[in-house]
Amino acid sequence: MTTELNDEFELLRQNADEAGLDWSGPPPVRRETVSLTSGQKVSCLVWGNEPPALALLHGGAQNAHTWDTVALALKRPLIALDLPGHGRSDWRADRDYWPVSSAEAVAEVLAAIAPACRTVVGMSLGGLTAIRLAAQYPDRFDRLVVVDVTPGVDQHKSAPIAEFVQGPESFASFDELLERTMRYNPTRSETSMRRGLLHNARALEDGRWAWRYDRLRPPAGELRFAHLWDDVSRLRADTMLMLGALSAVVVQDDVDEFRRRKPDVDVRVVAGAGHSIQGDRPVELARLIEEFVAPSQSTV
């Protein structure tokens, strides 16, 4: 299928089948949108019928659907956000999609839709945003899971990712888009990539395909997040740092610095996973999250 989805949830059965998860019918999931005090709108997916106790923040150039398989495996009430400038959330005129401003947007969304949420999971740019969020609002979060990123990330460690994200903004066809994406994501199946692109790209009136995210432009042209190390030092939430064994985004020096600033951090390495652990090993990621958040939180 190379046309836009009629129903954004129609591929969930495919997610479950590919991951080997039991399927007993469509899960309770809906899309909601929050209008921030700034006037900007942030969209999100709310899973379950109970108040969300867990928030999922995707990486740069991704969207809330990157967590679909993880959410299916967890079977917990949770919220997965489209960060500002991504998915179905509004784009910003100033293109500030970085952790400090995005954390404030996420805080507003959670206050409106998931005030009982005490755990936040963030991957890559979402992980840095989650660090800022948990440091800025220590009384609101008990647990933090940071997926394959630290404030030590820079343009050198993330060069292949940045090269992909800063590539063409539109493509002549869906197949051209898929071919390029597969080249940059060798650990993912074509079925998984095709499904992800149907959520992360859209057909234009002229038949071309374009991304659903605004172009990420680092301040001064360089990725620098070292200022967030101070936020790591301020963390009070129980923290897990999850690394992809095949990823080069986090090096040992980064892990050592994280441990120096947060000595009780629980570091886990996921075999067979690259940077996007939720795409490469979603069931394993869900298992680790499940163990970390403890059985005190109700299931869907």
Active site residues: 124, 148, 275
Q: For the chain, what's the residue count?
A: 300
User: Which residue has tokens 């489209």?
Assistant: 82
pLDDT at 2 over 60: no
Q: What is the pLDDT of residues 221-259, one digit of tens each?
A: 667 899 999 999 999 999 999 999 999 999 999 999 999
What residues are paired with 269 via a beta bridge? 243
pLDDT at 299 over 70: no
What pairing do the DSSP bridges indicate for beta strands 238-244 and 266-270? Answer: parallel
Q: What percent of the chain has pLDDT over 90?
A: 85
What span, in angstroms and rounded, lies between the C-alpha atoms of 97 and 226? Answer: 16
What span, in angstroms and rounded, lies between the C-alpha atoms of 71 and 275? Answer: 19
pLDDT for 72 equals 98
- One DSSP character per residue, the chain reads --S--SSTTTTHHHHHHHHT----S--SEEEEEEE-TTS-EEEEEEESSSPP-EEEE--TT--GGGGHHHHHHH-S-EEEE--TTSTTSPPPTT---SHHHHHHHHHHHHHHH-TT--EEEEETHHHHHHHHHHHH-TTT-SEEEEES--TT-BTTTTHHHHHHHTS-SEESSHHHHHHHHHHH-TTS-HHHHHHHHHHHEEE-TTS-EEESSPPP--GGGS-B-GGGHHHHHH--SEEEEEEETT--SS-HHHHHHHHHHSTT-EEEEETT--S-HHHHSHHHHHHHHHHHH-TTSPP-
First to last CA, the chain: 31
Average pLDDT of the segment spanning 168-176:
94
Given a contact cutoff of 8 angstroms between Cβ atoms, the answer to whether 82 and 64 are in contact is: yes
- This prediction has a pTM of 0.95
Domains, the chain, in order of start with CATH, read: 12-293 (3.40.50.1820)
Measured in degrees and rounded to the nearest 5, phi and psi for residue 193 equal: -65, -40
What span, in angstroms and rounded, lies between the C-alpha atoms of 257 and 269? Answer: 17
Q: What is the pLDDT of residues 81-132, one digit of tens each?
A: 999 999 999 999 999 999 999 999 999 999 999 999 999 999 999 999 999 9
